[in-house]
């Protein structure tokens, strides 16, 4: 069936380290989004990236649609980067319905 | 712009009680969605709407009803709350897929506990 898989499930970093989070999806996608869920539970839109590469400050994302994966890069991590990172994909079928991965839980220590 | 606003933010119910969660968006989005998030998991789609007066079932619709009487509002109802419906509920909205750049925008969530 349609699946979105994220790795690693958990990640612990020292402040200043870099990291790469991966999202694999089982079929071609119309929409791919990355979110950060902060410790207060809010979902923050990071990237809308069905294909290509985007950068926003210390964060960047790349989606290779033909190979069915997306990567989120976090450089020079800060304690405020802690939380859970979700990718979510909309597969063909319309209506922009998102299927979420289980998330990567990131803890950045000072 | 407030974006997507959910009311209430927290609620505790007893088993069998009913309640309605309200979602309001001010971005003139046609599409609206209700998701639930259980501990340690990603969000799962409950119901969605592609326009005023329309609703459709998502991945986990049982035990919930929805209504979209106005374009800017999407209501989620629990007719007879059960402990299995204890969760955090998120509302989202977006433009239709035929528009360029149609990410979903999320509210801050409603934390619902059913005793």
- Report pLDDT digits (tens) over A35-63: 999 988 999 999 999 999 999 999 999 99
The pLDDT, as a whole number, for residue B101 is 62
Q: Between A and B, how many residue pairs show a Cβ–Cβ distance under 8 A? A: 61
Nearest to A110, CA basis, from A84, A77, A83, A85:
A77
**Would you say residue B17 has pLDDT above 80?**
yes
The pLDDT, as a whole number, for residue B1 is 61
The pLDDT, as a whole number, for residue A9 is 96
Contact at 8 Å (CB) between B35 and B87?
no
Contacts of B6 in chain A (CB under 8 A): none
- Report pLDDT digits (tens) over A58-109: 999 999 999 999 999 999 999 999 999 999 998 876 777 899 999 999 999 9
Cα A47-A53-A56 angle, rounded to 5 deg: 50
**Would you say residue B106 has pLDDT above 70?**
yes
Q: Which two tokens stand for residue B105?
A: 């925008």
The pLDDT, as a whole number, for residue B103 is 85
Q: State whether residue A92 sits within 8 Å of chain B by CB.
A: no
pLDDT-based confidence at A31, cuts 50/70/90?
A: confident
**Would you say residue B92 has pLDDT above 80?**
yes
- Phi first, then psi: what are they for A22, rounded to 5°? -120, 145
Q: State whether residue A50 sits within 8 Å of chain B by CB.
A: no
CB contact under 8 A, A98 and B45: yes
Contacts of B58 in chain A (CB under 8 A): 97
Q: Which of B42, B56, B109 lies closest to A102 in CB terms?
A: B42
Please give, one letter per residue, the 3-state secondary structure of A68-100.
Answer: CEEEEEECCCCHHHCEEEEEEEEECCCCCCCEE
Q: State whether residue A86 sits within 8 Å of chain B by CB.
A: yes
The pLDDT, as a whole number, for residue B99 is 62
- Segment among A12-16, B32-36, B37-41 with least mean pLDDT: B37-41
Q: Which two tokens stand for residue B115?
A: 């005793």
Angular region, B20: left φ>0, alpha ψ -120 to 50, beta rest: beta
**Would you say residue B114 has pLDDT above 70?**
yes
Chain A: closest CA distance from residue B44 (Å): 7
């Amino acid at each position: 069936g349609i699946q979105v898989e994220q790795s690693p499930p958990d990640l612990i970093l020292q402040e200043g380290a870099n990291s790469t989070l991966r999202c694999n999806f089982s079929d071609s996608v119309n929409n791919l989004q990355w979110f950060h869920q902060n410790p207060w539970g809010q979902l923050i839109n990071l990237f809308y990236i069905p294909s290509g590469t985007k950068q926003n400050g210390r964060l960047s994302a790349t989606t290779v649609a033909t190979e069915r994966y997306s990567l989120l890069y976090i450089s020079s991590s800060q304690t405020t980067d802690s939380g859970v990172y979700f990718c979510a994909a909309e597969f063909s079928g319309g209506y922009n319905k998102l299927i979420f991965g289980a998330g990567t839980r990131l803890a950045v220590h000072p | 712009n407030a974006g997507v606003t959910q009311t209430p933010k927290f609620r505790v119910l007893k088993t069998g009680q009913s309640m309605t969660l309200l979602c309001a968006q001010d971005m003139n989005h046609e599409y609206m969605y209700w998701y639930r998030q259980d501990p340690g998991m990603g969000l799962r789609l409950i119901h969605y709407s592609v326009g005023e007066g329309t609703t459709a079932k998502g991945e986990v619709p049982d035990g919930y009803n929805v209504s979209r009487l106005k374009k800017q509002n999407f209501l989620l109802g629990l007719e007879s709350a059960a402990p299995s419906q204890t969760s955090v509920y998120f509302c989202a909205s977006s433009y239709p897929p035929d528009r360029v750049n149609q990410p979903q925008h999320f509210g801050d969530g409603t934390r619902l506990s059913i005793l």
